[in-house]
Amino acid sequence: MTTFTTSDGTGIFFKDWGPRDAQTIVFHHGWPLSADDWDGQMMFFLDLGYRVIAHDRRGHGRSTQTWTGNEMDTYARDLIELAAALDLRDAIHVGHSTGGGEVARYVARSEPGRVAKAVLIGAVPPVMVRSDKNPGGLPIEIFDGFRAALVANRAQFYLDVPSGPFYGYNRPGAVPSTGVIENWWRQGMAGGAKAQYDCIKAFSETDFTEDLKAIEVPTLVMHGDDDQIVPYADSAPLSADLLKNGTLKTYAGFDHGMCTTRPEVLNADLLAFVRA
């Protein structure tokens, strides 16, 4: 396996495919998944001659099952170190869900010249949890329920999420894919329970407002308006408004896992943005 060791001794697994002199696209996965969730997009762009990179966030997939550092500041630091080790220049960073938050924090803090563009897909910014400052957010009790379900029976919880709201399989007329559900379960169970437990707080309570304001590069915000995991109204439009150079693209009726359920649409739109 290809791994990079961070300054605190954490092993970060990553895939790095394609010509080293080609335009680089870096993919950031959602919770509680791994780089494997991007295989469809990586194969699509690799076939077109791009260099594609995806890593397993610390505590997830094949990376070290850390019991500390499972929060956005450390996730961003890991990426700063990985980008320096690979000498990434003018890369395009694409993040889904929790990975979208990771992209926002990393891009806001990245060294000049490292990032050319960013994409946030079904992403958690600006902030998910409800508060006086964010009255449209989700109540903390929902995330407490996630934590309780993970501790009680992580294996069953990781079947229930993709079988229902994640891919919209609970909607009338939806046709669930056993392969998609079991692949989600496989990725989730490969990671560490403690890191995934901590990451619930990271994706739900981190406020990315200042990160979004600080991002200078062109940023595409892609979101389905039937997203049952990261509700549309309190995420994508607000993020797009905070970005200096943001573009919002809304997908009517699309679910949270739309990169998997509708890759023919998402890949084409990603390619148009990359080439623009």
Which residues does the annotation mark as catalytic? 97, 227, 256
Instruction: Give the helix ranges, DSSP H, for the chain.
Output: 39-47, 72-86, 98-109, 140-163, 178-190, 193-205, 209-214, 236-242, 258-261, 263-275
User: How big is the chain by its Cα radius of gyration, in Å?
Assistant: 17
Contact (CB, 8 A) for 59 and 198 = yes
Q: How far apart are CA 191 and CA 35, in angstroms?
A: 12
Note whether 251 and 225 are within 8 A (CB). Answer: yes
Return the residue matching tokens 């797009």.
240
Give φ, ψ of 112 to 5 degrees.
Answer: -55, 135
Strand order in the sheet with 51-55: 3-5, 11-17, 51-55, 24-28, 91-96, 115-121, 219-224, 246-251
